[in-house]
Chains A and B, each alone.
Chain A
């Protein structure tokens, strides 16, 4: 499965990418929301997007909002976040995210989340 990881931190991407690889998946990196939009267009076979919240240029919420209006991404979107305030989570869900994953997370947690979302 091809997974787009949208995060402005390369170390985070490298860590998540390794986890995904260990789980038998391929990772594609986008360093912000705008880059993410382009990577989605370039990779129509994406099956999952892991989306960071705070990023320069276009943040995670803006990415979701753009997707709500343009429907450019058909893959389920999971927010990667450092806080689990219900209001924030709900905002993401209302804008089209399907789940969230708390950073930092382990490969097991990521695996469970992928199963849950892609089931």
Chain B
């Protein structure tokens, strides 16, 4: 694929390429938003779908397919709309000064001549999904060849790998060891084919806040002010009382490791996940998704969870509550992660869950 080619040829480092892809992903509106704005589906219908998806541990994209909410034609149309609203990789490379226009055009021409080699390499490396591959990159209309698509690599079903969304979270908070990123990049393929959708859930940037946050502009992601279509539901549901109960349950799980407590935690995590999804609190989504997957895996497997993992839910809940406080104070998620201690906590949480998923896979 094009991105792989451009890195292998030494035009960009892996880190630069990842950042560009991330920028592209962030410029893409979520499928939920595209559907909502199209006014072809009601917010009630979309909400119900999100909730059901969270309960079934299915992505919004999967739910759309499963429920036949959209015809294939409509789905492709919406995905195209989504792509059209995102930046092209070429623009990102050029605007960020990584490549000059002439240089980029030449790379595209060169790539066109070796395209088949790279595509066959990709096919060998990744299993083909039944789901239509969704382009993360928009086609470059002015380019001499329309090849700059970063195809989503769809995993084998039930794979326990690290989600691309989780990797993106790591990148988004930055200060990540590039070696770790490179290592994780090699594991991103094995996520659900929903990762694409999850990533698309990412932020719609708020220029004003970005400006205000210029001192800590490294953080990316959901940088808007706190708020969402179901903000009050989120704040009402996820309140002091629930958090205290969750702390106690997580503590009991830490001490005794009983599945009953894990089940209880999982049940609430799924509910909170639904609410953060509908509110498009992307950092919380990316934190909760892998934890939900891990809990689901533990609950559905006969094997005992590793004892060193028992502390994880408590740590995750501590961070989740900080996000909630931040939102309740009218600040965006990104403002929390602008603080070094929380950024570190966030990274630590993701690393832990990824490490566990890697082991269990």
A: residues with CB less than 8 A from B are 84-86, 89-90, 93, 98-100, 116
Contacts and interface: CB of A to CB of B under 8 A. Distances in A.
Interface in B233-253: 240-241, 243-244, 247-248, 251-252
Contacts of B151: none
Nearest to B258: A119
Nearest to A117: B252
B312 to A, nearest CB: 15
A99 to B, nearest CB: 5
Contact of A84 (B240, B251, B255, B318): B240
B85 to A, nearest CB: 39
B240 A93 contact: no
By secondary structure, the B interface counts as helix
B252 A86 contact: no
Interface string B294-320: 000000000000000000000000100
Given A85-B244, A86-B240, A86-B247, A98 B252 contact: yes
B243 A86 contact: yes
Contact of B255 (A86, A98, A100, A116): A98
Contacts of B255: 98
A89 B321 CA distance: 13
Nearest to B255: A98
28 contacts: A84-B240, A84-B241, A84-B244, A85-B240, A85-B244, A86-B240, A86-B243, A86-B244, A86-B247, A86-B321, A89-B244, A89-B247, A89-B248, A90-B247, A90-B318, A93-B247, A93-B248, A93-B251, A98-B248, A98-B251, A98-B252, A98-B255, A99-B248, A99-B251, A99-B252, A100-B244, A100-B248, A116-B252
